[in-house]
Amino acid sequence: MDIKTETVNLLIIDDEEMTGLTIRDYLRAISGDLVSYNVEFFSGSDEGFKYFKNNPVDVVILDMMLKENDGMRLLKEMKALKPEVEIIILTGYGSGQKSIAALKVGAFDFLSKPFVLASLEKIILKAYSKKVMETENRITSIIEKKISDLETSIGSEETFIGNDSKIKEIIGLVSEISKTDCNVLIQGESGTGKELIARLIHKSSNRSQELFFPINCGAIPENLLESELFGYEKGAFTGANTRKLGLFEVATKGTIFLDEIGDLPLTFQVKLLRVLERGEFNRIGGTKILKTETRVISATNKDLRVEVEKGLFRRDLYYRLNVITITLPPLRERILDIPLLVEYFLKKNNKTDKKIEISKEAMEILLNYNWPGNVRELQNVVDRIVILSDSNIVTPEIVNRALSMHDNYSKIKQYYESDFVELVEKDSLITLEELEKRYIKYVFKSTGYNKAKSAYILGISERTLYRKMKQYGFDSYD
């Protein structure tokens, strides 16, 4: 049978423009003989929904935390208008309950940020396969082959790559830990793979078929963290119109991963200690004592022993969490693993027919870079390299360009923000609106009136920048 290319119509709605553009460019780059991706991206929910209504769409990639419109509401409107379209939700930290709610409304699946692009592609293919399953067996066969090829090439998502002796020792320890239900504390700098180790422990345990929920303790206000983990009763506070189940209840047979646990407020540490010691908790506003068997794996980039001595972390909670400790080394201490990691990420993200290889000179740059963001930063750089490469051999110029896309913007942003503080401090007190107006004008002028760079530094989309400029009444070169 002559198999033709199958085209998947994709719509991305995400107000983080860098995320949306990266997904769009990646999917366009990997379009091949079996599956081709027709991708449109919108950072604004109104524009995205308008496109959704007026154009053929097979799969939507939707950010739950949209600024202009609630992702859940947009999900409901899309499913009501075109129930046959499959919608994949992108979530951030502390989004466990929202993810469950989205699935109940009709979302196909969810993926937590940050994520591997190849993993997103696999979910897209499964979503599209479901959409066409009952109509065309031919298409289903093509998609199933593509998924099989993808899984063969990228392997398991829960894979920790490395030949370093410390990494081999850690993998061996993970194998032993997985046989027990003991609490585990994972230490290491940001980007070293703490969540990946936690997922490996869960995946290798007898809880592997149950839920795994990651929570970023430092990024969620205490009251929201409490409702996220413990839930609340109807009427517990203003706006509590229904009962909400917490993760300790929803994932009672599964695993909760508490990332950046060193940032937990002391008042909340007492409540967590009770759960770990007795397996008991109350919903907010409730009096009934509830039981949980949830396993807790925690992680931190701080030295909790120092935090304990400073009085910022409870000693009893530290010992309760620290039954087994895993310390992940930074990437700069395992540089011999860099070529292996680069090859692995290239295989995961290069889905074209061409084989991309790193030249010796380009690899030297990667080996000599300090990697403050560790393995996560390396993965992001390889993602960019795949998108930027137009030949089989990656040159030093491509590597430098991929590195500078992160480094230069970060330095520019820090410079502008610190410089602007001095500018504002010289003036009298001003309104928040005036402050925003001045900062937008300041950044825009400082970047040489570069809209794309200004929007990136401001953390908004170019469309939002245009709207702000119009709102405040200044043109491009005012």
**pLDDT tens-digit readout, 190-204:** 889 999 999 999 988
Which residues of the chain fall below pLDDT 70? 1-5, 32-33, 68-69, 92-97, 133-158, 219, 349-354, 405-430, 448, 452-453, 456-457, 459, 461-463, 475-478
What is d(CA 370, CA 166) in angstroms, rounded to the nearest whole number?
19
Q: CA torsion, points 208, 261, 327, 97, in degrees to nearest 10?
A: 20
**What per-residue confidence (pLDDT) applies to 150?**
53
* Integer CA distances (angstroms), 176 to 184, 231, 434, in order: 12, 33, 58
Confirm if 210 and 254 have CB atoms less than 8 A apart.
yes
Domains, the chain, with CATH or none: 6-154 (3.40.50.2300), 165-327 (3.40.50.300), 331-406 (1.10.8.60)
Closest CA to 207 of 182, 228, 178: 178
CB atoms closer than 10 angstroms to residue 414: 11
Residue 183 token pair: 């609490």
Closest CA to 340 of 182, 164, 112: 164
